[in-house]
Structure 1
Amino acid sequence: MLPTLITRFVGWVISVFHEVERVGPAVPSGPVILAANHPNALVDPMVLFRTAGRPSRPLAKAPLFHEPLVGTVLRALGGLPVYRRQDDPALMEGNQGTFDAAVASLHRSEAIQIYPEGISHSFPSMVALKTGAARIALQAEASAGWGLGLVIQPVGLTYTRKHLFRGRVVAAYGMPIGVSDFRARYEEDPTAAVRALTDEVSRSLRELTLNLEQSDDRALVETAERIYASARRLAPSRERVPMARRLPRLQRFARGVAWLRATDPDRYADVLESVNRYRHLLALLGARDGDVPSRYRVGGIVRYVARQALFLVCVLPVAATGAVFWAPPYFATRHLAPRFRPDLDQVATYKLAVAILAFPLWLAFWSIPCFLVLGVRGAVGLWTLGPVVGLAALAWKERGGRVLEDARIFWRVLGRPRSRAWMTRERGRLVEIFEELAEEMPEDYEPPGPSTTE
């Protein structure tokens, strides 16, 4: 019961911090290993708690279990410590106990989380997978006489602005991989079976994630996809398209960038210059998401203004109350987390750690006067209405931010008619280039991926 409650609470917390999307098949019942890439430290397991649809026991590096808040949560969730060489080589013998506990958990038809990259990172692509997940899976099946029915379900996590509050993440669940399918190979050569299963997980994860050769490629790929989607009416110019819909296009553009750079560097440089010039103008016009409309229609403008104004005016009183009430813990989280100087892949984790302490403490602080003045009903009302007005403030802030951006683009475009005309022409030219390159690129082209490591 407790792990289920904690899973739901943690899942709700991450859905407030990030916009979380999910695609792919459901997690099956029975024993499951959820194998995910690891780009965002402790945020990654929280996303899985939110999207898996069932409780799961996370495997996490051993030092986390000694931290007061994180360690308590991990132990309550049945987390299993992983002893890494870079943390303390002398403790690595403890991994056998972790392996045995993981196998026992799977024998009880539970689900466990494993991050086979072995590290949280901000590299533009996945790193080589370690073989621990495959070894646990094959050991569990073999010790159960190959009748366990264990599967490994790959989960690809792709973030946008992962270190920021209200960043976005899509959890792409792949088809489960049957571990018993590797029985014959395991009985013939266990080491080869472990590598084969690890390679299969790696292949699936790469299909579910956005992998780039260079960090700078992300901006190029994002801009190219925005241009193409707008020109081909795959997405309205000023609409925030779900990441789940964008991911397949982003992946294809990423492969295209890698292929063009490898086969025709001069042509790649020309395309890069053109896309960067377009992106620079988007930035000057203030377009963070989406593209700039080719034209504005009076009827559409009137409907847009009426719809947005109705929402902003009606929600404003509640949102203002929430903004004022929650301002202290909000700004405490915003300013305290950077003082720890975390790496990029740990920024969101530190923010969440501060927030999980600051927000409940702030609510508990105000519960005391509410209880003394209004009794139990007052305290219960505060705990009920406090989150509601906070979510209203968040919704108003996001909607207001988008309206302000749209208005800024509208007025800047009106003052630069030549810029809008140039963007329309350039958009069409770039789309023709993209489609020409798509025809030239081999359909099965894949950039070389990392090899398996022990």
Structure 2
Amino acid sequence: MLYFLLKNLFRIALRVFFKRITVNNRQRLLGEGPLIVISNHPNTLMDPVVTASFMKQEIYFLAKSSFFKPGWQGWLFHKLFMIPVYRREDVGDSGTAQNDATFSKCYEFLGTGGTLMVFPEGNSFMQRRLRPLKTGTARIALGAEAQHDFNLGLKILPVGLNYSDPSRFRSEVFVNVGEPLSLEAYKEAYVQDPFKAAHALTDQLKEILEELVIHSETDEEDQLARQIEAVYQDTLVRELDLAPTEPEEKFLITKGILQSIKYFEARDPQRVHALKEELQEYLSHLQSLGLLPEGVKQAPQKSKVAWGTLETLAYLVLGFPVYVFGVIHNYLPYLLPAKIAKALTKDIEFYAPMMMTIGMFTFPIFYTIIGLAVHAWLGLSGWALVAYLVALPVTGFFVLHYWHRIQVARRHWIFFSLFYRRSTVLQQLLEQRKRLMQVLEAARAEFLGSFPETKPKTETHP
């Protein structure tokens, strides 16, 4: 009952916390057990919530034993179908016997057609990278099948979680669901050597998950990829005739950018180094002026500047009363989750799930208090009170949009000021951007030329 209630509450909370959740191959999440769902693990408790929210069956989760503290926390985790795993780095060699009991419980659960979710990296770090996988998932899967002479029909379902900004409210998630993997092919290998079979399966799972996530080898490589995305992604979307807001297309573009970086690092590292320096110089110049890459493309037309300014001013003036109403009623319940999360933990990976969970309570509590107050002090009741309460979350979202519009207007004003008053600075920026585009276009052409069978209409790599 508690699991069902919290699952539905989290479904609602996810729709509020994230601006957009896109699931690729969603139908694969509808399969029933026996099933082991595996995923990368960049965002701690948010990861199982996101994936489980799209699955209809009850799911058991493997979680590190340190979460199961005595008292209410341990009780809650057990009620949420979590099974403790005793990692050597947490409990030393003493966890071996306890893990044997954990594995037995998993075998029994999978043998009855259950669904188990595992994060085989073993820990969570907010990186666009798949870390080495532990063999526990493979051992559980092969052990469960072995108990049924490999006739259980167990499948492993890989899921790649790709967050646009894991810790930020109203960011996006691209859930990339892979092809379910059967284990019949491992029967002979397991009979001969269970240890080697588990390692072979783990290697295969690693290859599968790397295809489903944005995977950079180093922080430096990821930083370069992000810089290229910031400057060049819009151009690629336009040239390849892709949907500008389609997460799958952006995912493929980023995969292509990382692949091209690896290509040139292996063949011409000096060229990569020069690109890094030029990108850093350009982006630092933009940052010093308070501009973003997507806002600097070409000198604006005077007619568009005038009309855009009038339109923005009209929106800001007419929307200001609604903005004030929304801020007054939503500021505290919006601010408190972030403050509480930062007070409870210094690990950034926990911020998002904590903020979302705390927000599930702060907003309803504050809205209830406000409703009681306006009923007592202003005499609102019936449909008038209902309309007032409905206006609270609606104006809360309007505040976010209004604030975003202010930031956009500010950047446009800076850009237009450069255009009219400091044209030399603007010209330098445009020249920098033009040189970068030429360098990136040349690199893209060379990289694509290394794939002779690539057809122009399906190109997705820079």
**Alignment TM class, shorter chain as reference:** 0.7 to 0.9
Query: Contact between 2:155 and 2:180, CA under 8 Å: does it hold in 1?
Result: yes
- The counterpart of 1:40, out of the listed 21, 43, 46, is 43
Q: Cα distance 1:301–1:88, how it changes in 2: closer, same or farther (>3 A)?
A: same
Q: Does 1:107 align with 2:94?
A: no
Query: Contact between 1:240 and 1:289, CA under 8 Å: does it hold in 2?
Result: no
Query: Contact between 2:39 and 2:119, CA under 8 Å: does it hold in 1?
Result: yes
Read off the aligned partner of 1:335 and give its amino acid letter: K
Q: Cα distance 1:182–1:377, how it changes in 2: closer, same or farther (>3 A)?
A: farther
Structure 1 gaps, min length 5: 445-454
Q: Cα distance 1:6–1:413, how it changes in 2: closer, same or farther (>3 A)?
A: farther
Write out per-residue CA displacement over residues 360-415 of structure 1, whole angstroms, 9 at most, x where no aligned residue. 44344445546766679898777655434433333443444444444444444554
Residue matched to 2:174: 170
- The counterpart of 1:207, out of the listed 211, 215, 221, is 211
Offset of 1:425 from its aligned partner? 2.2
Offset of 1:200 from its aligned partner? 1.5
Residue 88 of structure 1 aligns to a residue whose secondary structure is: helix
Read off the aligned partner of 2:400 and give its amino acid letter: L
Q: Cα distance 1:178–1:305, how it changes in 2: closer, same or farther (>3 A)?
A: farther
Residue matched to 1:30: 32
Structure 2 gaps, min length 5: 454-462
Larger Rg: 2
Query: Contact between 1:38 and 1:44, CA under 8 Å: does it hold in 2?
Result: yes
Offset of 1:136 from its aligned partner? 1.8
Looking at structure 2, the residues matched to 153 and 413 of structure 1 have their Cα atoms a distance apart, in angstroms, of 53
Q: Cα distance 1:54–1:284, how it changes in 2: closer, same or farther (>3 A)?
A: farther
Instruction: Indicate the RMSD between aligned Cα atoms, in angstroms.
Output: 3.6
Residue 234 of structure 1 aligns to a residue whose secondary structure is: helix
Deviates more, 1:327-336 or 1:313-322: 313-322
Residue matched to 1:428: 437
Q: Does 1:160 align with 2:169?
A: no
Offset of 1:118 from its aligned partner? 0.3
Read off the aligned partner of 2:43 and give its amino acid letter: N
Deviates more, 1:196-205 or 1:346-355: 346-355
Residue 119 of structure 1 aligns to a residue whose secondary structure is: coil
Looking at structure 2, the residues matched to 315 and 77 of structure 1 have their Cα atoms a distance apart, in angstroms, of 43
Q: Cα distance 1:124–1:421, how it changes in 2: closer, same or farther (>3 A)?
A: closer
Offset of 1:221 from its aligned partner? 0.9
* Percent identity of paired positions between Structure 1 and Structure 2: 24
TM-score by length of 2: 0.81
Read off the aligned partner of 1:426 and give its amino acid letter: R
Query: Contact between 2:126 and 2:166, CA under 8 Å: does it hold in 1?
Result: no
Q: Does 1:270 align with 2:279?
A: no
TM-score by length of 1: 0.82
How many aligned positions are there? 442
Deviates more, 1:147-156 or 1:12-21: 12-21
Residue 22 of structure 1 aligns to a residue whose secondary structure is: strand
Offset of 1:270 from its aligned partner? 1.3
Deviates more, 1:210-219 or 1:379-388: 379-388
- The counterpart of 1:88, out of the listed 57, 80, 91, is 91
- The counterpart of 1:142, out of the listed 146, 157, 164, is 146
Q: Does 1:58 align with 2:61?
A: yes
Q: Does 1:394 align with 2:400?
A: yes
Residue 153 of structure 1 aligns to a residue whose secondary structure is: strand
Offset of 1:224 from its aligned partner? 1.5
- The counterpart of 1:339, out of the listed 343, 354, 367, is 343
